[in-house]
Amino acid sequence: MERSLEIIFGLIEEKKYALVREELLENNEADIAEIIEEVNDELGTEKSVILFRMLPKDISAMVFAYLSSDCQVDIVGGITVKEVQNIMEEMSFDDMIDVLEELPANVVDRILMRTDKETRKLINQFLNYPESSAGSLMTIDYIGLKKEMNVGDALQYIKIHGMDQETVYTCYVMDAERHLEGIVSLRTLVVSDSDETIKDLMHEDFISVNVMDDQEEIAQLFKKYDFLALPVVDKENRLVGIITFDDIMDVIEEETTEDFERMAGVLDDSDKEYLDLSVIQHIKNRVPWLCLLTVSLMITGAIIARFEALMSQVIALVAYMPLLMGTGGNTGTQSATLVIRGMSLGEIELRDVGKVIWKELRISMVLGAVLALINFAKIVLIDRQEPLIALTVSISILIVVIFAKLIGGLLPMAAKKLKIDPALMATPMISSITDMVSVIIYLLLATLIMGITL
Amino acid sequence: MERSLEIIFGLIEEKKYALVREELLENNEADIAEIIEEVNDELGTEKSVILFRMLPKDISAMVFAYLSSDCQVDIVGGITVKEVQNIMEEMSFDDMIDVLEELPANVVDRILMRTDKETRKLINQFLNYPESSAGSLMTIDYIGLKKEMNVGDALQYIKIHGMDQETVYTCYVMDAERHLEGIVSLRTLVVSDSDETIKDLMHEDFISVNVMDDQEEIAQLFKKYDFLALPVVDKENRLVGIITFDDIMDVIEEETTEDFERMAGVLDDSDKEYLDLSVIQHIKNRVPWLCLLTVSLMITGAIIARFEALMSQVIALVAYMPLLMGTGGNTGTQSATLVIRGMSLGEIELRDVGKVIWKELRISMVLGAVLALINFAKIVLIDRQEPLIALTVSISILIVVIFAKLIGGLLPMAAKKLKIDPALMATPMISSITDMVSVIIYLLLATLIMGITL
């Protein structure tokens, strides 16, 4: 692909478009889409539209579906509404909905005007499902069978209704009112005798999801059961669509990226790639948490200011403050990250809170003791400070590590209990809290141990 | 499932095992496995083995495959080698290999002794593939066709070779020496006329991977092309197995968990769940990074100690140190996390390094200026400190934010360039570096601006 890209850039420069087309069609749809995106980014939309128009009708829809939404909007701006509509007609229903969700409203209106009334109604219905619901993920391209059919009829039906690649391997058995009664896999149909009836072959203990269910729960189901597809039903248990594994892989990726971002104090609800996001948007995503964290750091500063008298008497104490705060942040982050990830994989449930605390308590006591000992030795032997200072620092470290690990384990679970995203309780949050607590512990202990009156 | 679990716990206590069996079989295989695991954890292996032995032969293998490896080892310890072997024979080949990899060597030997020579050779070959290679992920349960067959023959062949659920939807066309010549989907076979030949229907521009390829690259391919399965070939392009999407979903999950852990300074190579890992193992996973970070925090402390004279003259400076270090850590973490995630999704390539720097530079200048202004105002108006202190703090913040964002963007990319895992360059690493740099900048600026000679 990389090589093909270079060749095409060269040919565009020489305006040898017949050769560009030839080279372009050497690639598969996903790679063609990547080439068009590169051209769009580097040479402008005018050129990418020329390339896109070169594609034969049967593959242009697939290429279009692979493009990023930014590039889709660019391309749509450069071609006629008629052309857009042709692409839409070739696309699978869920891909089409994804595209329509991103396009400017006036373009959507113009496309909808040209479709028949029934399709328009269906599209509008899909566009209205909440963003992360089963409804917004599903497609209507599935094979529906009747339980009275025999295998021969069913295979004949499938053969006639030439269908979408992603939807054929599980067939859905419905009654006259579209109530879902069972599922049967194409595998079963192919290996069964042609006079067996669907009724005898279908599974009736299938799992289905409701159209308003959240995509995160659905992703958990896919991971647990290794489904290829899952039926989506409405309140009356009527089949309204199916969700396929490839869309779920995208969901899992999005949710994971969101976790990473939130754990780093970035609030991004755009699903856009790092490089596609404008500087302004990056700033907007990062500034809220930073301001909040600044306030917490100001409070930590104010606490320290209270102890100025202590520090001016024993200035050596100051040099160990970063050690205390850093150790609290690092150890707390470890625990918080493991617990957050464990919860998002469904490995840790809220009822495990006792086990988590007990585990972190034992871990933190050992780690705290190890770090306390290392630091005690270093302060006495290398820094040649008074043993009282070394004692203050090491006892503080022990307490801070235990506190940080416990709060790191507990806070994400408390957040989940309160229906707040646990990922928000990661690094920045934990280290803010441990910063404050560790300076308090350290400076109080110092006053106590060194017998200084403030 | 939760309700079923409660009922079963109750029935076990009352020793009503006939009813336990009845209740157990109300669930599907994945849920039965979960119940047996709970019983194993809470009531001991003796009870879980009783439950496992209740299962009909045809579902026990599937349940076994769903169990965690810890629980598998427990169950195997409680049943006879003959029983283990029966389960193995029912399992799909790749699941069997997964189990064998976890079992104690003496058990594996006893199982292998009872298999025929050819299977034993094959198993040994599979057990020898490197852990994260295509070879260790693949299964040999696939449908192989010849290009001379027609659709009718092919469907008949599939019908006779009753096959594994996960492997049927893509069929592989090979010549007499097992060289892979093309692929054809079951969908295509079903919708085509029975006298068409495979040769005319198969795709010859398929994508395959080599048996030694790394699982991370393979996962990228699955994500890009939405494959159901991917063929694995040896150096001579002979088909040796296939990898299916469900195994890849597990790989993606593992790799992501590894990223999370490394970004938090935890080095865990066990793939075990948080709750299953012993306290000792948790400590082993967490202590190396903590010790390294402690050394870096000691250095930061030593730097501060050098400036004791400055601080004892202007003790107010101490109160703003956490602000500087915390802001550096927080802003750097944001950038590092976004870049690391972008690279692991393939959104950011090494050649984008210029774009990343330019983006982070602009973002950091704005964010740095905002934070500098907020802090200047607060220090002068609320803390009522001298403007010179406020100036020192705000200029330091501006410089620290720019530095932290640039290093946060650059360091993960440098790591990738040097073939080190970028995830290791996240929070703990970045905040250690920014801690050091920010105290140096701050204290140097203070000496300069406030005109203090040390």
Beta bridge pairs of residue A238: A179
CB distance from A291 to chain B under 8 Å? yes
Q: Which residues of A touch B370 (CB under 8 A)?
A: 287
Contacts of B312 in chain A (CB under 8 A): 312, 315
Find the angle CA(A98)-CA(A104)-CA(A108) to the nearest 5 degrees.
Answer: 70
Does the pLDDT at position A180 exceed 70? yes
Give B362's pLDDT tier (boundaries 50, 70, 90).
very high
**A319/A325 Cα distance (integer angstroms):** 12
Which chain B residues are closer than 8 Å to A330 by Cβ? 265, 289-290, 293, 428
Q: What is the DSSP letter of B205?
A: S
Question: By CA distance, what is B262's nearest residue in A?
Answer: A334
For the segment A257-279, what is each residue's pLDDT rounded down to a tens digit? 888 888 888 888 777 888 888 88
pLDDT digits (tens, 9 = 90+) for A144-176: 899 999 999 998 888 887 655 556 788 999 998
Nearest chain A CA: its distance from B79 CA (Å): 26
pLDDT tens per residue, range B406-425: 999 999 999 999 988 888 88
| pLDDT tops 60 at residue A309 | yes
- Report the distance separating Cα A278 and Cα A18, nearest Å: 35
Which of A282, A312, A434 to mutate to test binding with chain B, by most B CBs within 10 Å of its CB? A282
Low-confidence winner among A212-226, A295-309, B77-91 (lowest mean pLDDT): B77-91
Give the whole-number percent of chain A exceeding pLDDT 90.
27
CB contact under 8 A, B318 and A302: no
Q: Compute the nearest-CA separation of B224 from chain A (Å).
A: 7
A69 contacts chain B (CB < 8 A): no
Q: Do A341 and B28 touch (CB under 8 A)?
A: no
More confident residue, A114 or B372: B372
More confident residue, B19 or A2: B19
d(C-alpha A376, C-alpha A366), whole Å = 15
Residues of B in contact with A304 (CB under 8 A): 318-319, 321-322
A390-436 pLDDT, tens digit each: 999 999 999 999 999 999 999 999 999 998 888 888 778 888 899 89
Which residue of chain B has the CA closest to A409?
B274
Burial state string for A147-181 with b = 16 or more CB within 10 A and e = fewer than 16:
bebbbebbbeebeeeebbebbbbbbbbbeeebebb
Closest Cα in chain A to B329: A428
Tell me the C-alpha to C-alpha distance, in Å, between residue B235 and each of A45, B211, B217, B239: 42, 8, 18, 10
> What is the average pLDDT across B6-23?
88
Least confident of A160-164, B112-116, B224-228, B328-332: A160-164
Per-residue model confidence (pLDDT) at position A146: 92
For B49-84, the pLDDT digits (tens) are 888 988 888 788 888 888 888 888 888 888 887 888
* Per-residue model confidence (pLDDT) at position B375: 93
Which range, A112-121, A124-133, A232-241, A264-273, is most confident?
A: A232-241
Arithmetic mean of pLDDT, A168-196: 89
Tell me, what's the pLDDT at B59?
Answer: 84
ipTM: 0.77
| Nearest Cα to Cα of residue B434 among B348, B357, B277, B323 | B323
- Under DSSP, the state recorded for B44 is -
Please name the residues between 111 and 140 in chain B that touch chain A, using a CB distance below 8 Å: none
Neighbouring-strand partners of residue B182: B173
- The reported pLDDT for the residue numbered A86 is 81
Evaluate whether A202 touches A147 at the Cβ level (below 8 Å). yes
pLDDT bracket for residue B158 (50, 70, 90) = confident
Has residue B7 got a pLDDT over 80?
Answer: yes
pLDDT of residue B164: 57
Using the Cβ of A352 and the Cβ atoms of chain B, whether some distance falls under 8 Å is answered with yes
Rounded to 5 degrees, φ, ψ at B206 are -75, 165
Q: How many residues are listed for chain B in this entry?
A: 454
Q: Which residues in chain B touch residue A325, judged by CB atoms under 8 angstroms apart?
A: 322, 325-326
Residue A254 CB burial class (10 angstroms; 0-12, 13-18, ≥19): middle
pLDDT of residue A165: 53
pLDDT at B161 (0 to 100): 79
Q: How many CA atoms lie within 13 A of B259 on its CB side?
A: 24
